[in-house]
Each structure stands twice: as structure tokens, then as C-alpha cells.
Structure 1
Amino acid sequence: MSVDYKIELKKLVSALQVEAKSHHKNRDFLQLLPFNPEKQESYDLYTMNSPFSLTIIDYTPDAPYLFAFIGAETAFSIAVDTRQLSRLHKHDYFELFYILDGHLDIMIEGSHHRYESGEACLINCNARHVEEYRSAFLAVYLNFSPQYLSALTKHLFLDTQKDGLPWFLSQNIQADQKDRKDYIDFTPMPAPDEGISNGMEQLIYRIVSESKGKAPGYEDIVSGSLKRLLFHLQSPIEYTHSYVRLKAIREQNLFEDTVTYINLQKRKVSRSELADALNYNGDYISQIFYKQTGQTLADYIRNVCLREAASLLLNTDLSASAIIHRLGFENRTAFYRQFKKKYQVTLDEYRHNYRNF
């Protein structure tokens, strides 16, 4: 007879419940957690005082939901109002959540995501997110300090293929990656039976029960079970992976917006104008442009202007001086020199040689 680990997990969580009738009316219960919530202007920052902890949320709409926490020294469950944890936040630890039942709606850096039963997501320390609590779900959150996660996975993976879990860890665990806001999604492969999900649920139940019981040697059992869980998540036979680099996406969008703006203007554009138009620092725009192309922003703008000058010479009757003025260049001599360097002829010679072709 197979064991329903979701039901067993709910029983285990219920056994942790404490009498705290007033906690669901305010945020006092957060004082029980080994986290230090620091209120920033637009989000909360949670710092963890232990290498590993776990949280379980059993949410039902229109009612206080069950929130359970198990750490090195604290273990409890309590009925909580969703308003207590519905504020944008980030952590100084990695958070891996796994959906055991239902589906979870969550905003990650302004983008909506829905995770179904059997799916998981590992979020790095910098990505801001908030659960939306729309529909019923049961989820476990495994919280790793960067040092603990690094030690846990040091010799776990042989394959460091780009975009997989090992690559995600190598890119995000380093202390100097404070500007990265990455996460990786895990979606189970279609299977003829529920062996994979049931195996994951069994592992999660073991991690939770051992962490709760704290019998001698439990740390090794938890560590080994976490390694096994991460190994399963990385397996291409069991899961597909989607590594999302929010910084890379933003940089690509900024690069494309920069190119679009310059080509629409078809004239000399300054860094300060770009900064005002795109709402980014001018030096940062230049850095991203060079990173994407290997070409300086000034060189690209110059080439756009030279191509526009050539087009105007062929398609209008504007004089060379009028064209140079229209393109925003004050030093006509320098523009003449640049044009001849690119096309090997002067502006007048270019019009004479190519206008009738």
C-alpha cells in the first residue's frame, strides 16, 4: 500500500501547531523566526541566522492558513492571515520552493508566474518576490545559506552544462554577484506513473520529519536527502530547466532600446540625451552597448550618422553643409574627414558618383 506523503506531511505540520490565538491578527509571530526582517522602502529583507531551515505553507482561500517553520532551534506551526506575508521581499539566502498540491501564483521582480503541483523554483538572494495567495496550495520552502548550499553541492554535480542547476549555482553563489537577480524553474517531465513526484514527496517528508525530530545524526540524513533532492531536480530525464537571468534580460532590453532610439533619431545623439530618454545612467548605457557589440557607443552613432548622410546625398538636394548641420555635427572638417575615411570619397564625389545608379 503506497503512502500519501502529502497527507503525512499535513499531519506532521498539524502536530507542530501552537496555541497562539492572537498571532494571526498581527506580525508578532515573525519574532519566533530566526530571520531578521528589515523594512526597506519598497520591500522587506530577510536574513537567516542558520545554515538551513524550512517553511511549509498550507493555504486555503478565505481563511487563516497554516504556516509551519522548522529551524535549527525552533519548530512551530500557526494559523496566519495572508496579509502578514503578502509584502514584497528578498532574502540573504537561497530559497527553493516545491509545490506539493494545488498551484502557487507568485510575482518575481514584477513578472507573474504560476507553479503547478510537482514544479519547483530556486531563487537567488537578490530577486524580490511575493506570493499572491489566489488559490489553495501546499508548498515546502527549503532555505539555504550560500555557504551551506555551496558545501552541499561541492562534489554533487559532474555536468556543468550551461543553463542547468550546477551552472546556476556557479553563477550565483559567489559573494560578488549582488547585482544578479536569477532563478531557475524545474518542470517535471511527462511520466507514465507518479513515481517521480511520489519520490520527491518522500524525500521532502524525510527532510521535514528528520529536521523536526532532531534525533542523533539527523543532520547527515537531512544533508543526504537534500543532495538527493537536488540531484533529482538536475536530472534531464526527470525535469526540464529554465534558467532566468533577469539582469541579462534587462541588459538586452536596454541594448535594443538604445539601438532603436539612435536609429530613429538618425542624427548625433549624446549620452545625456540617451540617459534622459531611456532613464538609465549614460555611462551604464555605454558599458552595456560595448558588452553587447564590442563597439563603442560613439562609433555606432557616428556610423549611423555617416549612413544617413550617404542616404541624404542620394535622395535629397540638401547641400553637404545642410546635411552636416541636420545630423548635429558642428565641426564640418571632422565630419568630412570621417566620411571620406568610411566611403573613400568626399560628400560631393559620393553624390556625383552614385546618385544616378
Structure 2
Amino acid sequence: MTSSYTVKNIIEQDNINSTINSYIKILTPIQFTLETCNIANDDKYLNFLMTSPRENTFYSFKTEKEINHFNMRPPHIHDFYELLIVLDGEIHQLIEKTDFVFHSGSCCLMNHNIVHKEIFSSDATLLFIGMSKELVQQLSEDEPKVYFPDIERPGHNPILRFLSDNLDNPDTKEYLDFMPSLNNKDWHHTLHAITDNILRAIMYPKLGSTYVIKGMLLELFDYLSNPEHFHFTPVHVEADNDFLLFTHISHILEDTNGRITRSELEQLLNYSGNYLNSIVKKYTNSCLFDYSQTFCMKRAAALLLETTASISEIMDELHFTNTTHFYKCFKEHYHMTPKQYRISMKIKLVP
């Protein structure tokens, strides 16, 4: 019985008969895999489209039994970096024996020594971008050679820095978790446009296509690391699902200045309000409402310091209708009234 197989000069999988994990090697600098799963209807399928500068291939599972067999396969580890983009639906990622759920818009950048696998339990469309260590090394070495250092800022992109650091410390078991900011309604269009440009350069190569691919990868890194578009969190494999959920709660509260109802938070994160409250309590020793208020008052303090808006205008922006309640909340956090805070902080800033 064979213990390895090769997919069209794209990847090679070894140790496939292991019940523990298999090992996948990339045979090309970059490869894209689009996985589309439909299990909600009678016409069930799980399609795989793989493309790379060397080969393209397509294969499909067309029965529920085949899809279940795919889900039951052992996890894998690989010698390349893998960016998962959930284009639609949701997917379970088993990462070092811990089950995480990634929803539409979520991304995950896995380093090359984490044991994991994706599991389909509902309809989903996923894009995986595999990047060889040699490609990452080239991106890292080329970074100081930019034409516009004041704008491109070599050494400052956190995603490229994460990849470069992992090259230097290959035993680190850490990945990056991404979720779109609440105001980023255009993430699907932007990610599609960037990845489509990379795919076009791969599938229809011409002079300069290698540089287009590298440039578009860096543009993708820039987009995902921009806090106006995405929040990202470095996650060590020892962290559990609660920690990741807490970071997602915090990011949403930051995006909404804490002015979001429990039911709205439930809908965004697909967890009950009581469970979300218990997660916040675990990490802050505060209830969800009080934790939300810290973001609201932080925004109020920033507006007092950085703008000339009146207190009533700040109340309107933060959706307060009761002046007494606003003053009470502010004093609980800063031990002075909003007016006193504005005056005292501006005095401190005077040289």
C-alpha cells in the first residue's frame, strides 16, 4: 500500500496511512486551492480546484459518504505557509486537537508546523493560498529594496514580519487569526479582486507575472493588516477557543464603541449572550455590559481630547439620551466630569 501521492506537481502528501497526521510538501512557489462544499441540498458535492505556476487540477467528492470520509481523515502538517480565506459559509478548523469555527470573512494564516485540518459541516467556500518557505524568504529579502520606503515602510508589515520570524524560529507554533472590521462591508469584493489578480497571473503568465504575484501578495498582506479593514490576533496553539472568542468580542466592541446590544452580538458571533458574558467575565472579571462601557467611555474621552465637539454632540454620537447617565458613566471610569477631563488633559498637554 502506497504511503504517499503527488497532486500534479503541486503538492506531495506523505505518510497518508498514518492515523496521527500526514505531511504535505509544496512543489511550487505558490498554489491556490478553492474548496466548495454543498451538503445542505440533495445534490451534495465537495469540489477542489487547485492551480499553481506548474499545473492545474480539479477533483470532486459527490456523495455524503465521500464527504464524511474526507472529514474523518487524519490531520496534516506541511512545509509551507497557508492562508485560509472563508469566502462564504463557515468551516471548522481542528488546530492541534482544538476545534475552532471560522465564519465568512474570517482568515487564518498558519505557519508550517501546526497540525490541523478543515472539517465541513455546512455549505462553505474556502480559498487556501499556499506559500513556500523559499517564496517567503524572497519577499523578506526584497523588502528593503523598495522604491518608496516612506510609503512601503520596510519591516513594518506585521504579516510579513510574522512569516519572516517563523523562518528564523521554525519550532514556533503560532498562527494569525483575522476577522473583518464591522464597518468593512466590502471585504468580499476587495479580497476577490486581489486574489483574482494573483490567479490571473498564475493561469495566464507573461513577462513580469512573477513580480505581479509577489506584488499582489504584499498588497493582500497590507489589506489584511490594516485595522480599518481587518483585526488580526497572533494565537499560540496552546490558546483555547475561549481566548479567540474573547478577542473577537473585543474587536467588535472596539468597532462599535461598545454601543451594541447583546442580541446583536449574539447574531454576529453565533453564541448565546450568557455564554459571551461568561467569556468576558473569565478574562476581565467584568460583565459584558461593564466591559462594553469601557470602550464607550474610551471613545468619549478621545472625542473630548481630540475634537472640539460639545458634550451633547459627543453624547449624540455615542447614542446617549440621558445627560445624568452619561456623566455618571464617565465619572465611574475617569473620576471627573467630561468638562473637567477636557480641561485637565489639555493643561497636561501644554508644553
- Give the TM-score range, shorter chain: 0.5 to 0.7
Deviation at 1:125, TM superposition (A): 0.6
Q: Does 1:134 align with 2:115?
A: no
Deviation at 1:28, TM superposition (A): 10
User: Structure 1 residues 170, 74: closer, same or farther in 2, change over 3 A?
Assistant: closer
1:245 is matched with: 236
Gaps of 5+ in 2: 144-151, 241-351
Q: Distance in 1 between matches of 2:154 and 2:211?
A: 22
Task: Give the SS at the match of 1:202.
Answer: helix
Q: Distance in 2 between matches of 1:157 and 1:168?
A: 16
For the Cα contact (< 8 Å) 1:105–1:115, is it kept in 2?
yes
Task: Give the SS at the match of 2:197.
Answer: helix
**After the TM superposition, which residues 51-200 of structure 1 pair with which residues of structure 2 at under 5 Å, given as runs?**
51-61=29-39, 63-80=44-61, 81-82=66-67, 83-84=69-70, 86-154=73-141, 155=143, 158=154, 160=156, 164-174=158-168, 176-178=169-171, 180-191=172-183, 194-200=185-191
Percent identity between the aligned chains? 19
Q: Distance in 2 between matches of 1:84 and 1:132?
A: 8
For the Cα contact (< 8 Å) 2:87–2:125, is it kept in 1?
yes
Task: Give the SS at the match of 1:118.
Answer: coil
For the Cα contact (< 8 Å) 2:78–2:113, is it kept in 1?
yes
Q: Distance in 1 between matches of 2:101 and 2:130?
A: 20
Deviation at 1:84, TM superposition (A): 4.2
User: Structure 1 residues 112, 41: closer, same or farther in 2, change over 3 A?
Assistant: closer
**After the TM superposition, which residues 1-357 of structure 1 pair with which residues of structure 2 at under 5 Å, given as runs?**
31-39=7-15, 40=18, 42-61=20-39, 63-80=44-61, 81-82=66-67, 83-84=69-70, 86-154=73-141, 155=143, 158=154, 160=156, 164-174=158-168, 176-178=169-171, 180-191=172-183, 194-246=185-237
Residue identity opposite 1:202 in structure 2: A
Q: Distance in 1 between matches of 2:26 and 2:54?
A: 13
For the Cα contact (< 8 Å) 1:153–1:227, is it kept in 2?
no
Q: CA RMSD in A?
A: 2.7
Q: Give the TM-score normalised by structure 2.
A: 0.57
2:279 is matched with: none
Residue identity opposite 2:12 in structure 1: N
Task: Give the SS at the match of 1:173.
Answer: helix
Deviation at 1:47, TM superposition (A): 0.7
Deviation at 1:34, TM superposition (A): 2.6
Q: Distance in 2 between matches of 1:186 and 1:172?
A: 18
Deviation at 1:129, TM superposition (A): 0.5
Describe the superposition over 1:130-183 as per-residue Cα deviations: whole angstroms up to 9, x where unpaired.
11111111111111111212322452654648xx42442243122x523x2211
Describe the superposition over 1:206-235 as per-residue Cα deviations: whole angstroms up to 9, x where unpaired.
212321222343222222111100111111
Describe the superposition over 1:82-113 as per-residue Cα deviations: whole angstroms up to 9, x where unpaired.
33474300100000011111111111111111
Deviation at 1:78, TM superposition (A): 2.0
User: Structure 1 residues 31, 145: closer, same or farther in 2, change over 3 A?
Assistant: closer
Task: Give the SS at the match of 2:202.
Answer: helix
Q: Distance in 2 between matches of 1:171 and 1:149?
A: 11
Q: Distance in 1 between matches of 2:202 and 2:166?
A: 26
Q: Which has the larger radius of gyration?
A: 1
1:301 is matched with: none
User: Structure 1 residues 64, 172: closer, same or farther in 2, change over 3 A?
Assistant: same
Residue identity opposite 1:205 in structure 2: D
Residue identity opposite 1:105 in structure 2: H
Q: Distance in 1 between matches of 2:178 and 2:112?
A: 18
Q: Distance in 2 between matches of 1:97 and 1:149?
A: 16
Task: Give the SS at the match of 1:54.
Answer: strand
2:311 is matched with: none
Gaps of 5+ in 1: 1-26, 251-357
User: Structure 1 residues 45, 219: closer, same or farther in 2, change over 3 A?
Assistant: same
For the Cα contact (< 8 Å) 2:9–2:54, is it kept in 1?
no
Residue identity opposite 2:206 in structure 1: A
1:256 is matched with: none
For the Cα contact (< 8 Å) 1:46–1:89, is it kept in 2?
yes
User: Structure 1 residues 52, 166: closer, same or farther in 2, change over 3 A?
Assistant: closer
Q: Distance in 2 between matches of 1:172 and 1:28?
A: 27
Task: Give the SS at the match of 2:194.
Answer: helix
Q: Distance in 2 between matches of 1:124 and 1:100?
A: 21
Q: Distance in 2 between matches of 1:166 and 1:31?
A: 28
2:300 is matched with: none
Residue identity opposite 2:234 in structure 1: Y
Residue identity opposite 1:242 in structure 2: T
User: Structure 1 residues 28, 78: closer, same or farther in 2, change over 3 A?
Assistant: farther
Q: How many residues align?
A: 219
